[in-house]
Structure 1
Amino acid sequence: MLHKRPSQSSVTPHSYWLEPVNSATIKATDAPETPDNDDFRLIADSMPALCWMARSDGYIFWYNRRWHDYCGTTPQAMEGWGWQSVHDPAELPGVMDRWQQSIASGRPFEMLFPIRGSDGVFRRFLTRIIPVTNNEGNVVRWIGTNIEVESQLNAEAALEVSEAKLQVLTDAMPQMVWSTLPDGYHDYFNARWYEFTGVPYGSTDGEGWNGVFHADDQERAWGLWRHSLETGEPYEIEYRLRHHSGVYRWILGRALPVRDAQGSITRWIGTCTDIDDAKRNAALAELVSRELSHRIKNIFAVIAGLIGISSPKNAEAAAYAKEVSGRIAALGRAHNFARPHGPESAILQNFGGLHGLLAELMLPYDHAEKRRYVISGEDIEVGDRSATPLALLIHELATNAVKYGALSDSQGRVTITTTVHGDRVVIIWSESGGPAIKGVPVQSGFGTQLSDISIISQLGGAIDRAWNREGLSVTISIPRAHL
C-alpha cells in the first residue's frame, strides 16, 4: 500500500566519507603497475562490480574483466583517461569536476552516473573511489568500483509512480480507505478519513483509530477485528464514528485480506462508508411502516366490532357474525407478514417454521365446516427477511383464489406442499375443485407483479405458473440460504 518513503534513493551517494586505505606495507610509487598476483586477479575478475585502479593523479592503469565485458573495450583504449569515451557527454563535465576535486583533496569519491554498455545503452552506475595512502598520508593509488543500479532505480521509480497513482485513486474515492500490516497495525488512511474525522495526519496510525469510535462500539469493534486477524475472515461491522463536527455518525466498516501466492496475508485493505443518513431513513421507514400497520389493524378491529354490534341477536346470525369477525381478525394477523420488518418488529418467533407462516396466512380463508386448505411436506426454518416476499405471494394467490379460483367455490380447496431439493426449497401451490380455467389470463394485476418481483429480486427465487383446466398450479423455487 502507501508508505512514507525517504526522499533520497537508497542508491544515491551517501553523505559520509569512505575511509582511505593506508599502504604502509606496500611499496608506493606513482609508476603504473598491473597487479600480477594470480589470486588477486582471480578475485578481481570474478567480482560482480566493475573495478579499476588509478595512480595518485587519476591516471587509470588497470581494469578488471567485468569492465571490459560490459563496455566492450580493450585495456589499451581505456588506459589513462580513455574511460571518458564510454560516459554520457552530457554528464561527463560534472563527473570530471567531481573526480578532479577528489584527486586534489585526496578525499573519497562517490557519484551516480551512466556508463555506456557494449550494446550502446547507457545504464546508471553507483561509483565509489577510495584513496590508498602511505605512512605520510600521501595518496599513492586510487581503487574504484562501478555497480549497476539501473534496474533498482527503475523499480523504485515505477513503485513511486504506482504509489502516486494509488494515492490519487484512494484520495478521489468517496469512501474512507485504510490499510494495515498483516498483524493489524494501521499504516495508511486516505484523505477522506482525515476530512471526515478532522484528526491530525498520522494520529490514528497503529491502534489510535479506535479512539474516534463511539465508546459503546469500541469493545465490539475490537472483538470483531481481532477475530478477523486471527481467522483471516472478512471484517464487516456497523459502528458510530466521530465526525469532525463532534457528532457521531453511523459507518459501515469493511476489510478484506490481501494474500500472496502461498496464501499468506500480506496486508488488509478496508473502507469506511458513511451510512448515517441511510440508517436514519431506514429507521424512519420502519416507524412509518409500523404506524401504518397499526392503523390498518385498527381498521380490521373496527370492522369486526361493527359486525358484532350490527348483527341480529338470534343464535344463527350471531354465530355467522362471530365466524366473519374471526376471519377478519385472522386477516389482520396475516397482514403482519405482508410488510417490511426491522429488528424491533420481528414476527416469526411465535410461528415456528415455514408451515406455521403458511397456516397463519391461510387462516382467514378457512371454513367452519371443513378445512379449505392443506399444508404438507418438509417444514423449513425461515427468517424475517423472507417473511414479507413470501407473505405477499401467498396472500396474492389466496386473494385471487377467493375471487376467481378454487376458494370461490364451496367445493374448492388449496394444497400447499413444501420440499427441499439440494440447496433449494420448493413450494407448490395447487388449486382444485373450483371453476374450470379457460386459459392463461391476458394480463396480470399489480399484486401479482409485486409478489413476483419480491420473490425473484429479494429472495433470488423463481416462479412458474401452470394454468391447468382443473386449477392453477404455482411452483416457487427459492435458495434455502435465502430463507
Structure 2
Amino acid sequence: MPGDGHRVRGPHPADRDRVRSAFAATRAVLGRYETDFRILAGDEVRWISARGQGEDVGIVGRTMFGIFLDVSGRKHAEEGNEPVAGEMNHRVKNLLTIAAGLTAITLRSAKSTEGMAQDLTARLTALGRAHDLVRPLPNGQGDAALLGDLLSVLLARYEDMGAFRGRIRVAVERMGVGEVAATGLALVIHELATNSMKYGALSVPTGTLDLSSTTDGDELVLTWLERGGPAVTVPDGTEGFGSKLLRRSISGQLGGSIACDWSEEGVIATLRMDRRRLSA
C-alpha cells in the first residue's frame, strides 16, 4: 500500500477539490469514475489512480465501489518524458516553419513543377540530415552537432557517387553547432555542393574539394576550396535563387558573410560566421 510505514494524509492539497468534484459528479450520475490524484504519505508524494462505478441501491442510499492503484512509477516516467516531448515539439515546429519558407521561395524560382520538386526535395533532405545529427548536450546546455560531423554527413551523398569517393576532405576544428545554426549551415553547404556538381570541381572526375577552418577573433572562417574542375566562369552579376538563399542563410541564421574568389584554379568560397550564433 502507498505510505506503508507512513501516515497517509489524504489527497494532495492541490488535487483535493478536483478529487471531491470527481466523486460528487459520479454519485450524481451513477456512472463510472476515473481520476488520478496525488496523496501525501509522510513526506512523500504518491500518485493514485482511482477507477470504479457508482451504483443506485434506492432513493435514500447510493454506493460506490472500485479500486485504488499506486501508479507513481508510471507518472514519474511520464513526467520524465515531458521535456523530451516538448523539445521534439519545438524542433518539429521549427522545421515546419523552415519547410514552408523553402517551399514558397522555391516555387517563386521554379521553371517547372518537376524542377521545383527536385530542388525542394534536395533542400529538405539536407535539413533532415542536419536535424538527425543534433543531439542534447550534457547538463541541459541545449542541443548541438559537431561541425566536422555535420559537414561530412551533408557531403556524404557526393562521396557515395562512385568516382567522387575520397575526393572530398573535411578538416575543421572540433566545435558544437546548435540546432538553429545547423539548419542554416545545411542549406549553405547544400547550395555550394549543388553548384559544384553542376559547374565546379565535383562535376568532373578529376575535381577535388577541401573544407577547412580557422579562427579570426569571434568569427569562425570556413574555406571551401575547389580544384581540378572545369574552367571557371565569372558570374555576370545576376544573382540566382541559390545565391540569394545562400547569402540569406549566412547573414540571417549564422550572422556572417560569404565571399567568392573565381580563380582560374577553382572557386574559393570564404564563409565568416559568428561563433556564438553557430552554437545557438
Please report the TM-score for the alignment, with normalisation by the length of structure 2.
Answer: 0.50
Matched residue, 2:229? 434
Give the superposition deviation at 1:388. Answer: 1.5
| 1:416-446 deviation per Cα after TM superposition (whole angstroms, max 9, x unaligned) | 0012222211100011111011323432211
| 1:236-286 deviation per Cα after TM superposition (whole angstroms, max 9, x unaligned) | xxxxxxxxxxxxxxxxxxxxxxxxxxxxxxxxxxxxxxxxxxxxxx89954
* Partners of 1:416 and 1:430 within 8 A in 2: yes
**Where do 5+ consecutive residues of structure 1 fail to align?**
1-281, 293-329, 339-344
Matched residue, 2:60? none
SS of structure 2 residue aligned to 1:472: strand
Matched residue, 2:171? 376
Aligned residues: 161
| 1:378-418 deviation per Cα after TM superposition (whole angstroms, max 9, x unaligned) | 12211011011111111000000000111110110111001
**For 1:454 and 1:291, how far apart are their aligned partners in 2?**
14
Give the superposition deviation at 1:289. Answer: 5.2
SS of structure 1 residue aligned to 2:176: coil
Higher helix share: 2
| 1:203-242 deviation per Cα after TM superposition (whole angstroms, max 9, x unaligned) | xxxxxxxxxxxxxxxxxxxxxxxxxxxxxxxxxxxxxxxx
Matched residue, 2:186? 391
Give the superposition deviation at 1:291. Answer: 8.8
* Partners of 2:134 and 2:179 within 8 A in 1: yes
Give the superposition deviation at 1:372. Answer: 2.5
**For 2:213 and 2:253, how far apart are their aligned partners in 1?**
20
Matched residue, 2:35? none
**For 2:269 and 2:258, how far apart are their aligned partners in 1?**
7
Matched residue, 2:150? 357
**For 1:449 and 1:348, how far apart are their aligned partners in 2?**
26
Cα distance, 1:385–1:470 mapped onto 2, change above 3 Å? same
SS of structure 1 residue aligned to 2:135: helix
Matched residue, 1:265? none
Cα distance, 1:428–1:449 mapped onto 2, change above 3 Å? same
Equivalent positions of 1:261-300 (< 5 A) are 285-286=93-94, 288=96
SS of structure 2 residue aligned to 1:434: coil
Cα distance, 1:289–1:464 mapped onto 2, change above 3 Å? same
Give the superposition deviation at 1:288. Answer: 4.2
SS of structure 2 residue aligned to 1:437: coil
SS of structure 2 residue aligned to 1:476: strand
Matched residue, 1:456? 251
**For 1:401 and 1:291, how far apart are their aligned partners in 2?**
24
Give the superposition deviation at 1:359. Answer: 0.4
Cα distance, 1:399–1:283 mapped onto 2, change above 3 Å? closer
Cα distance, 1:386–1:439 mapped onto 2, change above 3 Å? same
**For 2:261 and 2:221, how far apart are their aligned partners in 1?**
15
SS of structure 1 residue aligned to 2:149: helix
Indicate yes or no: 2:268 matched with 1:482: no
Higher relative contact order (CA 8 A, sep 6+): 2
SS of structure 2 residue aligned to 1:395: helix
Give the superposition deviation at 1:335. Answer: 3.8
Equivalent positions of 1:180-259 (< 5 A) are none
Equivalent AA in structure 1 for residue 128 of structure 2: N
Matched residue, 2:211? 416
| 1:298-337 deviation per Cα after TM superposition (whole angstroms, max 9, x unaligned) | xxxxxxxxxxxxxxxxxxxxxxxxxxxxxxxx99753415
| 1:7-58 deviation per Cα after TM superposition (whole angstroms, max 9, x unaligned) | xxxxxxxxxxxxxxxxxxxxxxxxxxxxxxxxxxxxxxxxxxxxxxxxxxxx
Higher strand share: 2
**For 1:426 and 1:403, how far apart are their aligned partners in 2?**
25
Cα distance, 1:334–1:288 mapped onto 2, change above 3 Å? closer
Please report the TM-score for the alignment, with normalisation by the length of structure 1.
Answer: 0.30
Matched residue, 1:401? 196
SS of structure 1 residue aligned to 2:244: helix
**For 1:335 and 1:462, how far apart are their aligned partners in 2?**
20
Equivalent AA in structure 1 for residue 134 of structure 2: L
